[in-house]
Amino acid sequence: MTLYRTICLFAAVTAFAPLFSQNIYQKAKPPAEISSFDRFLSQTRQSVKITSAPEASDNVMVRRLYLDLLGRVPTPKEALAYIQGKQENKQSVLVKKLLQTEEHAMFMTMRYGDELRIKSEFPINLWPNAAFLYTRTIYDAYRNNLPYDKFASQLILSDGSNFRNGYANFFRAVPKKDSQTIADAAAQFLFGKPLKKLSVKEQKEFIKAFSGIKFKSTREWKEEIVYSVFSPEKDPRHPFMKQVLQKNEFARNGVLRLWKWIFGSDNAAPEIIDHLTEQFRKNNYDQRALLSMICTSSAYRVSSICSGDYQKMTRYGAVYPVRRLDAEVLADSIAQITGRKNSYSSVIPEPFSYYNGRAAAIPDGSVTDQFLLLFGRPSRDTGAAGERKNIITADQRLYLFNSSDLNNRLNQIFRYKLKTEKDKLGALYLLFYSRMPTPAERKSFQEMNKKWKWRLLSRMPWVLLNSKEFLYQH
Amino acid sequence: MKKYCFSFLFLLFSGCYLSAGETAPPARSVIEIWVWGGPSQLETFDPKPKAPKEYNNGYKAIPTNVPGIEISEMLPKLAKHADKYSIIRTMTHRHNGHETASYLMQTGREPGSGKVFPAIGALVAFYKGKNYRGDLPPYVVLTKPKGRFAEEGFLGEKFKPLVTGGNPNAARFSVDGITPPGNLSKNDIAMQFAALEKFDQFGKNAGIPALQQFDSSGKEAYRKMNGSAAKVFDLTQETKEMRERYGRNEFGQACLIARRLVEAGVPYITINAQGWDSHKKHFETMKRKTAEMDQAVAALLEDLAEKKLLLTTIVWWSGEFGRTPKIQWEAPWNGGRNHYANCFSAMIAGGGFKGGKVIGVSDAVAGKVVSRPVAPQDLLGSILERCGIDPDSKFPGFTGVNEPLLPKESKAGRLREIYPEKAEKQKGKK
């Protein structure tokens, strides 16, 4: 009912304003310069003779922000609140609001979990208790806005029980427990590249830093104590970490990681990343401040549709790169739209782990389902970025076309969410696309519905679900 | 009587094939019956009627159609087809946890090497897939994923099996991703695709790189759902008698689908038979599970033989381990059997493997290997070898992997005693 009322209100307010008449995806002009970072971006683009695509429309922006920062589509209410908002700076207000939410911290924890290989079974053997604790520890750190340099130090310098100190699992979430393997994991995390890509000197430093790490078991099943054979004063990890924190590469990798999480790839001009790295260091490694800077910038506010060299424009933040929704984001968005929660389980190890709720909040990479596997959720075996697959395949399309489970869920929309709606088509568009249908779309629908003996509405959830506008982040 | 006639004909046929001066051809397809959870060896292929009651609970052994071979009275139908399969009574390894044991039994590898090796299904799909041109993926799992680990291992996404989902015993076996949901009319399906074409306007002709695969993947998907692939899963094309023969239950009908997949040329099919982890109420579980298993597997072997497909189709049956010989009557088990990998049974048939043989001898309670131990890599290596794939050859072209497909066979070696004659001789010359 509330939804219907909101839509009526919305319809009344906008009855005389041609809301989606121009272009439903973009505004007329490129995004305005509102910050010094924007000015820097403009200058950089000018120097390589690139013009930015127009600014993204409000309905695109609200969807984009919820997907990137919370990992799900906005609810109709959330979408309308933004679209109808009259504030000049509503974009940055929403960014700030979303960055403060628990959902955002949870979503970032998932991203970190991928990279730190948080899973209970094979080839990483954290065991469920430790996987849960490790996830929770990262969540708390992010939620409390622990600066990135402190966070990295906590991981690298941790010791103690894997069931008591979540950070200590950094040393256990590796396929082997020798100092070479640990050094490789550390290089991957700190500098974003495997050990073998570092200079010979650096490789030695890394291996030496972890030469004292040892493990011992306790009387509690699967509990392990991580400890260093050196006394705290002589532990080579301390001087090593001090040195790491001084390096620009360390801060730069922290920036590049967040950029990748927001734009889906690290295809960014080095000068842009360098500029942000400088800001990141100035802001004492405040990750949320950095995200805020990125998400309010013109590089983010720009439309995803442009004419011109797409790759090059992506590099300079002149177009927002389109990509398929991440597996967890897709699962969570479908769950939200259809109103049926997902449940996940791990068949290994015993006792089986279960998780009901957001796919993005699953604290353990071993807990999964067929959907997440099919849509390329990372296996968390290596922690490399390439583990996540965002390509679209025929098998995925087949699943979306034909899955009976999905079909049952789509039918539920009518049974529950839209039971009392008058404008069912409008409500469906809001659910899936975070916008109302255009007059042209409504007209097409009427014509087609008549032709197919008024059966079309029942299949519209399927149509919207299978469309690019829903399946892609844009 | 009829059944014996058929198997006789089959033997005659296979005999002709061999006497034509060729070695038995490599198997074309493999059906794996994955008895997940760990089936008890005592109530299946290694009964111990003479052992004390705390081991056999009074269950007996029955003779089979091969003189001298006895199996559990819980498998009366399979007892009539012992000439078609061989029994391995001395499978052995050291992992009593599902996860590690499954990995070992599926990949032949000890867990913990830091690499995720592919399961045998993915391996066969990898090699056989090269010459396979069907619409279905080369590796199909009925109906639920094994999910113990990434079966494709480092071979990658492409060799991940198609897991059907659905229930083959339902009025319409809806295979997620292949056939449309059961309640949609042809008209509805045509309508929704027409509407998708009309309404899906985002990014049209905008040259967005990420969208390029969308259309091609959609076309491929549409072709698949309307092609021969979908028909394979349509059990209404089988007679009522045939469906009854396999048993009208999920497992039975999955076995029938497996036969249809073999006919369609799919190289590797796994039937994931779940629910054998009988810690509690072991005997009640076994009675229920073995009845379905017995009927379906007997029907499958018989049907494959009748259709002259058994010679080119390997059927193997095993769990990740067996169960403790001594029954646990104490609480909380109250008549259960625990995980037991030290000595357990497997079954293998077809693909040129000789039937009517027993490999290995277990002790008086089926708890220890007395002679001829069979390691997981021996069993898997034999299957690969009969598929024409050399288990000792190296993984081609995977960076960082410089290892053979399987670890070196154990001292007792692969199952050469049941290889077809010519192939055995060839191996002997080596």
Domain range list for chain B: 2-178+239-429, 180-232
What average pLDDT score do residues A311-324 get?
A: 96
Give B137 to chain A, closest Cα distance, Å.
10
What average pLDDT score do residues A79-102 get?
A: 97
DSSP-derived pairing of the beta strands B361-362 and B162-163: unpaired
What average pLDDT score do residues A202-226 get?
A: 94
First CA to last CA distance, chain B: 42
Residue written as token pair 């098998």: A395
Q: Which of B103, B217, B274 best probes binding to A when mutated, by most A CB atoms within 10 angstroms? A: B217
B180: chain A residues, CB-CB within 8 Å: 401-402
pLDDT-wise least confident of A226-230, A428-432, B112-116, B337-341:
B112-116
Residue of A nearest to B189 (CA): A459
Give B196 to chain A, closest Cα distance, Å.
5
| pLDDT on residue B150 | 67
Task: State whether the Cα torsion B336-B337-B338-B339 is positive or negative.
Answer: negative
Q: Which of B423, B428, B410 lies closest to B88, judged by CA? A: B410
Residue A95 confidence (pLDDT) above 80:
yes
Asked if B214's CB is within 8 angstroms of A468's CB, the reply is yes
**Regarding predicted confidence, which is higher, A15 or B326?**
B326
Spatial neighbors of B258 by CB under 8 A, at least 6 apart, are: B31, B142, B269, B271, B300
Token pair belonging to B352: 């040129």
Residue A314 confidence (pLDDT) above 70:
yes
pLDDT tens sequence across A17-67: 333 334 899 999 999 999 999 999 999 999 999 999 999 999 999 999 999
| pLDDT on residue A403 | 86
First CA to last CA distance, chain A: 30
Asked if B222's CB is within 8 angstroms of A401's CB, the reply is yes
Q: Which of B252, B239, B230 lies closest to B173, judged by CA? A: B230
| pLDDT on residue A68 | 98
Q: Do B415 and B348 contact (CB within 8 A), yes or no?
A: yes
| pLDDT on residue B427 | 47
Tell me whether the omega of the peptide bond preceding residue A123 falls within 30 degrees of 0, making it cis. Answer: yes
Spelled out in words, what is the top-level CATH class assigned to the domain B2-178+239-429?
A: alpha beta
| pLDDT on residue B111 | 84
Token pair belonging to B302: 């018989």
Asked if B163's CB is within 8 angstroms of A402's CB, the reply is no
A26: chain B residues, CB-CB within 8 Å: none
With an 8 Å Cβ cutoff, is A398 touching chain B? Answer: yes
Asked if A391's CB is within 8 angstroms of B208's CB, the reply is no
Q: Do B393 and B405 contact (CB within 8 A), yes or no?
A: yes
> How many residues are given for chain A?
474
| pLDDT on residue A260 | 96
Asked if B196's CB is within 8 angstroms of A463's CB, the reply is yes
With an 8 Å Cβ cutoff, is A182 touching chain B? Answer: no
pLDDT tens sequence across B108-166: 999 877 678 899 999 999 999 888 888 788 999 998 887 656 688 878 667 888 888 88
* Cα–Cα distance for residue pair B346/B374, rounded to 1 Å: 10
What average pLDDT score do residues A303-328 get?
A: 94
| pLDDT on residue B401 | 77
Spatial neighbors of A89 by CB under 8 A, at least 6 apart, are: none
* Cα–Cα distance for residue pair A382/A384, rounded to 1 Å: 5
| pLDDT on residue A370 | 79
The beta-carbon neighbor of B199 closest among A175, A347, A444 is: A444
Please name the helix (run of DSSP H) or strand (run of DSSP E) that holds residue A355, with its range, or none.
Answer: strand A353-356
| pLDDT on residue B227 | 81
Phi-psi category of A197—alpha, beta or left, where left has phi over 0 and alpha has psi -120 to 50? alpha
| pLDDT on residue B148 | 59
Q: Which of A59, A392, A428 best probes binding to B when mutated, by most B CB atoms within 10 angstroms? A: A392
Asked if B220's CB is within 8 angstroms of A348's CB, the reply is no
A307: chain B residues, CB-CB within 8 Å: 207
* Cα–Cα distance for residue pair A35/A20, rounded to 1 Å: 28
Q: According to DSSP H, which parts of B108-151 are helical?
A: 120-128
Asked whether the whole model's pTM tops 0.95, one would answer no
Percent of chain A past pLDDT 90, that is, above it, reads 78
DSSP state, A321?
A: P
pLDDT tens sequence across A320-346: 999 999 999 999 999 999 998 888 877
B195: chain A residues, CB-CB within 8 Å: 448, 456, 459-460, 463
Q: According to DSSP H, which parts of B227-327 are helical?
A: 228-232, 240-246, 250-263, 282-306
Asked if B178's CB is within 8 angstroms of A348's CB, the reply is no
What interface predicted TM-score (ipTM) does this complex get? 0.89
Spans in chain B with pLDDT lower than 50: 1-22, 423-430
By 3-state DSSP, what share of chain A in percent is helix, strand and coil, each rounded to 5? 55, 5, 40
Asked if B217's CB is within 8 angstroms of A394's CB, the reply is yes
Spatial neighbors of A243 by CB under 8 A, at least 6 apart, are: A205
Highest mean pLDDT among A354-363, A407-416, A423-432, B111-120: A423-432
Residue of A nearest to B198 (CA): A444
| pLDDT on residue B379 | 98
Q: Which of A161, A160, A182 lies closest to A173, judged by CA? A: A182
Give B265 to chain A, closest Cα distance, Å.
20
With an 8 Å Cβ cutoff, is A305 touching chain B? Answer: yes
**Regarding predicted confidence, which is higher, A15 or A310?**
A310
Please name the helix (run of DSSP H) or strand (run of DSSP E) that holds residue B139, with its range, or none.
Answer: strand B139-142
Q: Do A67 and A319 contact (CB within 8 A), yes or no?
A: no
Helices and strands, counts by H and E, chain A: 24, 7
